[in-house]
Chain A
Amino acid sequence: MSSTVATPAAEPRTNYLNVDYGWKSWVFSTDHKRIAVMYLITIAFMILVGGSFAILVRLELATPAGDMLQSETYNKIFTMHGVVMVFFFLIPGVPAVLGNFLVPIMIGAKDLAFPKVNLLSYYIFLVGILLTLLAAAMGGIDTGWTFYTPYSSTYSNGQVALAAVAVFITGFSSILTGLNFVVTIHKMRAPGMTWFRLPLFIWAHYATSLIILLSTPVVAITIVLVALERLFHVGVFDPTYGGDPVLFQHMFWFYSHPAVYIMILPAMGVISELISAFSKKRVFGYPVVAFSSLAIAVIGFFVWGHHMFVTGQSTYAGVVFSVITMLVAVPSAIKVFNWVSTMYKGDIWMTTPMCFAIAFIGLFTVGGLTGIFLGTMGLDIHMHDTYFVVAHFHYVMVGGMVTAFWGGLHFWWPKMFGRMYPENMGRVSAAIIFIGFNMTFFPQFILGYMGMPRRYHFYPEEWQVLNVLSTAGATLLGLGYLLPMVYLPWSLKFGKVAGKNPWAAKGLEWETDSPPTTFNFDKVPVVTEEAYAYPEGARHQPEAKVV
């Protein structure tokens, strides 16, 4: 008798992946989850592109002589590495993939507020990528990802205009995603999902979206002004026409410094989720962590001048920017202390995501503290444009954002695709990434402090040992990144089927199916408890830890 009754396990429910298989159902989909998957695939491709440029840079720097690439080619390679990684991976990575997938589910909504705008945002992003790759194929650019004038506006012979248009267009993708998140979080929360019941991932995305909305238009108009100057000789940045090159830096960093927080804030949101789930505890000082995201978003707008201490900016303005830079460290430190306090006396389960989360705390702390060095005017004069800066921002962006991205991707992978990844492989990958990362970038702190300038492909022989160490570390790091790119797709077919809540974690996303249905929930969820409402002294089930 029982053989005639289809059990739920034998007949998988319709979900967003199996609801339709035609290619049109993907490319015209307005389902936030499918768009997130399209972003994931696109961004994975861009990691490979940006990573290839990084490998070329490190190979060149393995020897003191500039013997592999010509100077001009080297300039183009590191510029393309920066442009691709910053605009097509670091900025959209967490919000466009994990944010797109999870923001509606975590607040109990069916989709984002503007699903068609969400799809439009993806295609704008794609156009930006295609134009950037076209610029690379047509000769590339050699200005550095910062496009500093007057080099970019007057002297560079590369495809600056095309690359600038690409960045300009990509900015709109960012703006539309930010707008979608803000409206969704304000208007589409499930009944009972009050602001102080929101997961910290949502708070982080809300703060990020505010930054995106307020700062991205400025970089767009800055790029338009560069184009106007190149084409019509309108004097804005070029002194020949009565402009000021330092003005470009003001306008550029008004966006690009907050852009650092666009990269790191969503990553911090991910870490809050991971630490809580795998410590089986509510995040320590939840309201303070939530407000620290907003504080970082606001204060982060007033520190941009610390990029300009040695570029002609008034010393008095420098002092103001330096002092405010010290202030932004406070909310960042609050987060770190609160994550550690959350772990204290928690039942820590060292899964792959938790390994990444702990790695994040260490690496981000190093990155943040060295930022204090660079925000101090006197020290910055010594270390400006050296490898110390390169090491610092890689610790924040790669050690921070990328580590959190991997952690988040592993954590929500079972939710996104309904399959578990191989846990031991994940841990191995996390360990390789952590070791490889430190091997790559820690020597660069020393090199920078000794005076090795960035953006040169030859250097005195006495710096070779540290450079070789860095290149060896980069190889290890590359291997660490490639591993998940192999076993995660493998798990789609061969991974163990994940239940609704393989981590026994709290949150609306763990109450719906894995993978979720097209509209996320069968009926609108009603929220009756705070976020991370783990009982006092909660413990992970021993059998769960076997995973």
Chain B
Amino acid sequence: MSSTHPHITPLKVYFLVFATLIAGTWLTYFVAYKDFGWLNTPVAMAIAIVKAGVVVLYFMHVKWQSRLTMMFAAGGFIWLFTLFAFTLQDYFTRSWMPLYQ
């Protein structure tokens, strides 16, 4: 929960997050040269999501914030998801049979 004192994160955590991000970047580069078929995009996205997650949780201190702040942070991602989902419903159904022929 929130408190009047800001959370002090040990430097070690920052270095670990930095190492994770570098490793993630290397992994992204590595998998870009492998062919996973239809999984190519999901794999790249999964790595990106993990990287974004550690940035949000540790660099942006959301991990130590109140539930209200967490809810707002999560709200942004949920809304991003709705943007993708409702846009893709257009793209995925464009090739369907027309309603009237």
In the complex the two chains form, is A314's CB within 8 Å of B79's CB? no
In the complex the two chains form, is A247's CB within 8 Å of B93's CB? no
Does B53 belong to the interface (CB within 8 Å)?
no
Minimum CB–CB distance from A519 to chain B (whole Å) comes to 22
Given contacts A186-B68, A301-B82, A302-B82, contact A314 B93 (CB under 8 A): yes
In this complex, what residue of B is CB-closest to A317? B90
Does B96 belong to the interface (CB within 8 Å)?
yes
In the complex the two chains form, is B93's CB within 8 Å of A316's CB? yes
In the complex the two chains form, is A250's CB within 8 Å of B79's CB? no
Minimum CB–CB distance from B23 to chain A (whole Å) comes to 27
Within 8 A of B (CB), among A301-348: 301-302, 304-305, 313-317, 319-321
Given contacts A214-B79, A254-B83, contact A320 B89 (CB under 8 A): yes
Residues of B near A213 (CB, < 8 A) are 72, 76
Residues of B near A317 (CB, < 8 A) are 86, 89-90, 93
Minimum CB–CB distance from A171 to chain B (whole Å) comes to 15
Residues of A near B99 (CB, < 8 A) are 315-316, 319
In this complex, what residue of A is CB-closest to B92? A314
Does A498 belong to the interface (CB within 8 Å)?
no
Does B94 belong to the interface (CB within 8 Å)?
yes
Residues of A near B83 (CB, < 8 A) are 218, 250-251, 254
Residues of A near B96 (CB, < 8 A) are 314, 316
A181-197 near B? 1/0 per residue, CB < 8 Å: 01000100000000000
Chain A CB within 10 A, most for which of B68, B76, B87, B89: B87
Give the contacting residue for A305; candidates B72, B75, B86, B92; CB below 8 A. Answer: B86
Within 8 A of B (CB), among A39-76: none
A319–B79 alpha-carbon span in the complex (Å) = 21
A6–B72 alpha-carbon span in the complex (Å) = 52
In the complex the two chains form, is B76's CB within 8 Å of A250's CB? no
Chain A CB within 10 A, most for which of B75, B76, B91, B96: B91
Within 8 A of B (CB), among A164-214: 182, 186, 210, 213-214
In the complex the two chains form, is A313's CB within 8 Å of B75's CB? no
A182–B91 alpha-carbon span in the complex (Å) = 35
In the complex the two chains form, is A302's CB within 8 Å of B90's CB? no
Residues of B near A497 (CB, < 8 A) are none
A186–B2 alpha-carbon span in the complex (Å) = 13
Within 8 A of B (CB), among A249-283: 250-251, 254
In the complex the two chains form, is B86's CB within 8 Å of A302's CB? yes
Does B98 belong to the interface (CB within 8 Å)?
yes
In the complex the two chains form, is A314's CB within 8 Å of B76's CB? no
In the complex the two chains form, is A214's CB within 8 Å of B76's CB? yes
In this complex, what residue of B is CB-closest to A210? B75
7 pairs of residues in contact across A and B, judged by CB atoms under 8 Å = A213-B72, A214-B79, A302-B86, A314-B91, A316-B89, A317-B89, A321-B86
**Closest 10 interchain pairs by CB?**
A317-B90, A316-B93, A314-B93, A314-B94, A250-B87, A214-B79, A314-B90, A317-B89, A313-B90, A315-B99
